[in-house]
Amino acid sequence: MQYTSFTASEKVFAKILSLFKNLLYLSFYMISKATLQKEISVLVYHSVDLNNAFHTVHPKEFEKQMEYLRKNYSVVSLDDMVDFVKGRKNLPEKAVAVTFDDGFYDNYSNVYPYFRKYKLPAAIFLITGYCGRETCLDDVPLKMLSWNEIREMSQNDIGIGAHTITHPNLQETNLEEAKKEILGSKEEIEKKTERMCIILPTPSIDIGMKLLTWSEFLDSRVHLMVMDQFERVLTPFF
């Protein structure tokens, strides 16, 4: 086994580069937080059903939560949030957006009717390679949304965002593969819904910074949503 040796100057340069990278990430995070000074909250759900799968919420419990939000907060769309960040729109106090990851069928059967009844906006981030299929989480079979259901919801205040094609761990995926996963998901959504997909959730500030270097994002009006622990913030870099 061979080991690479470094000179003292190379070690100093590596430390400076690492420090610069950390400062850049920190600046990215702080600017995002400062931009959202009205404390816009983005709630993240997955399945809403009667199962014991990962992050599933019981329909009755979910309805209680939505009733509380409807009476005490202003539910806004992700498009509204983007317009706010870009300075085109003011949001009401206590603004909150409701999102759903992955694209489970119960988002259509158990969530969509409630949002239609009260004319509330929401957003679903799709794993496009799973659409119309069945997957399994925690040994629980779960049906995924079909494109017909997705198209219907997209025409009734439900925003549709990209959440990759196969849901790989982007932290462990090289940039070219991540690029194919995210842009492929975005393009499929736009083709099937005939609507622009402008918001992409990413799992961390680290991968978010890397994605921002892609000219495709800078040229196609795509906005990144960064997941930092349990809080989502919309980046101001467009």
Show me where the domains of the chain are located.
8-234
pLDDT band at 10 (very low <50, low <70, confident <90, very high): low
Tell whether the model's pLDDT for residue 11 goes beyond 60: no
Alpha-carbon distances of 137 from 58, 124, 175, rounded to whole Å? 16, 18, 27
Q: Which residue has the higher pLDDT, 17 or 190?
A: 190
pLDDT in the model for residue 123: 92
Q: How far is CA 45 from the centre of its chain?
A: 11
Give the phi and the psi of residue 221 in degrees, each rounded to 5: 55, 40
Task: Specify the pTM.
Answer: 0.74
What class is the 8-234 domain?
Answer: alpha beta
pLDDT in the model for residue 32: 52
